[in-house]
A and B are shown apart, each in its own frame.
Chain A
Amino acid sequence: MDYGLSPRERAWRDEVQAFIAEHVDERLVDETRLRGNEGRGAEAQRFLGALRQRGWDRIAFPEEYGGLGKTAIEQWLFIDEIETAGAPMLPLTLTSVAPTILRIGDEAQRREWLPRIQAGEVDFALGYSESEAGTDLASLRTRAELDGDQWLVNGHKMWNTMAHMATHNWLAVRTEPDAPKHKGVSMLIVPMDAPGVSVQPIHVWPGLRTNAVFFDNVRVPRANLIGERGLGFYYAAMALNFERLSIGSAGMARRIFDALVREVRVRVVDGRPLRGDPWVRDRLARLRVELDAARLLGLEVAIRLDRGEVPAAASSMAKACVSELAQRVADTGCEILGLDGQLHAEEPSALVKGRLQWLYRLAPMLAFGGGTNEVQRDIIGFMGHGLPRK
């Protein structure tokens, strides 16, 4: 066994690191923290433009459709470097919607959407969850009925992040009301400027914005239904390789931990260096070990992908582990910083730019979002250990 990088992997990592050194600065990192990973501020747009120039926006695409042909381990290295640097990850339009259209769309749909996505003309919000359909996504009620050559959409979506900025919504809708709930859902592309679409902001705890989106007799061309009618639940659940690699990245937690360590090295409390406190040393060392362990769960996902396996259990392990570890990093960090740990980033005297309290507020979402950790543990049990379902 060899955990060292191959010459090709090392060259790729070096290239990514050089790109980061050139294009990631404090302004971009601060903007990403303030607007969230999916925010598209001016700095993020500039960064995304630079990624596009390199062709790296297509890293999640299949090679036959212009993808970079990177192995899963190379994609994992890319994600790890970007996350650790604090730069915004590629938007879901490029890592989720586009690869899904390539996989399930027909030729006309690929010609219609792919060039526009790659040109940055269209950007998607992902409309899955509803008030009564969160973890139980198959219970969604937003419906689309065929009326001539158009779909008539009625209903609402919750937690529709980016909907206020996106040009389109990648919407899970019920098209077969009489089918079993898992088999009656389809994927529909809905322009956000279509009459009948309205967006209401939802402000969440970490200071980020998401949205509730309402669809009132919204008319959409028939051709905007992507893939087969009734298979939308499976398309939504069909995690793609890049997503499987991204969801369990320990990069963000590691970055904030490193910033905390830098602060502890120089901080003086009660006239003594904070780094001399035994409990501080013990807690930081434990977190460092956990971060080292969590990072390698991401590698496990990549290994299995490169073997041609579907790493459902491995990516669930990484997601559950990293999200809960982020909570411990945030909690421990706030405690180590003491009363300073509660200060917002806007406060000039905030230590570590207020990142620990920000992570403390964000971390709950990491555990329940993207599939709750209870569901992840069920997947590990079923798919990883062959435990019975019935």
Chain B
Amino acid sequence: MQLEPTLEQAEMRRAVREFCSREVTIERLLDWERSGVGVDEATSRKVAGLGWLGLGLPAEAGGGGASLADVAHLIEECGRGLLPRPLLARMRGALGLAWLAPRSPTLAAVARGERTVALALDERDAREPAGWRTRLAADGCHVSGDKAFVPDAEAADLHLVAIGAPERPRFVLVDRRAPGVSCAALHSFGNEPQAHVSYREAAVLEVLEGGLDFDDWRRHQVALALAEMIGGMDAALAATVGWVKEREQFGQKIALFQAVRHQVADMGTRFTSARHLAWQAISRLASGSLGVTDFHSAAAWTGASFKQICWTAHHLHGGAGFVVEHPLRFHSERAQSLCIRWTPEAPALARIAATLLD
């Protein structure tokens, strides 16, 4: 076993942490939230300039050629530092494109940060690919359908659109500004600009193929969510430890109350086990040695742990952590929105049960 990050990974983590502590202040998070776009142009350019959007893209396309594990280290730190969600969505979009079509001619522009990609997967009445009704026209050059809850849909240059098909889903790339594409912005918690998107005979730029099959592609996306959640729950735990050491009630630090101390202990235990389960799944996915239930266990436990840790963190912070200016609620929002989108517990448990019993 080798459970330490490499020197390069550790250095990257340190750099991301420094960037986030410098650039992602609570004041900016509030400004970005009020603006409705989630992040300003200057910060977007800085992140693109650092090469993070293209870190995991193939070197032949001008990307960083980094492994899934490398990218997961980056994302974990982004989760810890509350990097604006549109930027995380763009990283996912870029990687999503590269994993589906590693020889796509569009990748070079994405790697340079000139174009960004939004993932248009879900539909209002379908959570699984079999239910997707978005279709490719007979000419193979136009797409029609309605996608829901598309992150960063209005700001992204390109949409990676999932097409329902009887055998397996297919994916195409569409220019967001193309005729027939219209976005309706949504207000949701999670500080993540999203939109419902309608495609009406929208021109297809590229049919994406030659990469991972859908199940494997989705596992790679979930791996990124696991990493982001680990970073977020570590931050929530650290904030809580700091708070209970300082906060005084009844004439003493609240950490001196055993009831408080034990809740912190349980947060730490939950975080430690979730971190191992998540990273075990990520590293095994990256090395192609994934066990039958590794991923489902990691998804179920990590998501539930992130939410549980945030709830306990809120409880121990009391009113101080309940105000909108406190970063804790950003983590709590991300905990729930990441779980809903990427790691819902019930389907993961159902798959584990099927493995155990069927």
> Residues of A at under 8 Å CB distance from B?
1-6, 9, 73, 261, 264-265, 275, 281-282, 284-286, 288-290, 292-294, 296-297, 299-300, 303, 313-314, 316-317, 320-321, 374, 376-378, 380-381, 384-390
Contacts and interface: CB of A to CB of B under 8 A. Distances in A.
B357 A265 contact: yes
| Chain A to chain B: the 10 pairs with minimum beta-carbon distance, closest first | A296-B276, A281-B353, A380-B265, A293-B273, A377-B265, A285-B349, A381-B261, A285-B352, A275-B357, A317-B269
A300 B256 contact: no
A293 B283 contact: no
11 contacts: A2-B283, A4-B284, A9-B1, A73-B1, A264-B357, A284-B356, A297-B276, A374-B262, A386-B241, A387-B255, A388-B255
Given A1-B3, A285-B352, A297-B272, 15 more contacts: A3-B3, A73-B1, A264-B357, A265-B357, A285-B300, A286-B349, A289-B297, A300-B276, A316-B265, A321-B269, A377-B262, A378-B261, A380-B269, A388-B255, A390-B256
A294 B353 contact: no
Nearest to B305: A293
Given A285-B350, A289-B349, A381 B358 contact: no
Nearest to A290: B301
Nearest to B357: A275
Interface of B: 1-5, 69, 241, 244-245, 253, 255-256, 258, 261-262, 264-266, 268-269, 272-274, 276-277, 279-280, 282-284, 287, 289, 293-294, 296-297, 300-301, 348-350, 352-353, 356-358
Nearest to A381: B261
B269 A281 contact: no
A289 B2 CA distance: 23
Given A261-B357, A300-B272, A293 B265 contact: no
Contacts of A381: 255, 261-262, 264-265
A contact patch SS: helix
Nearest to B349: A285
A389 B2 CA distance: 35
A299 B265 CA distance: 18
Contacts of A376: 265
B244 A288 contact: no
Contact of B269 (A9, A320, A388): A320
Contacts of B264: 380-381, 385, 387
Contacts of B352: 285, 288-289
A385 B271 CA distance: 12
B293 A387 contact: no
B287 A317 contact: no
B357 A289 contact: no
A264 B284 CA distance: 30
A314 B265 CA distance: 11
A73 B265 CA distance: 24
B266 to A, nearest CB: 7
A292 B304 CA distance: 14
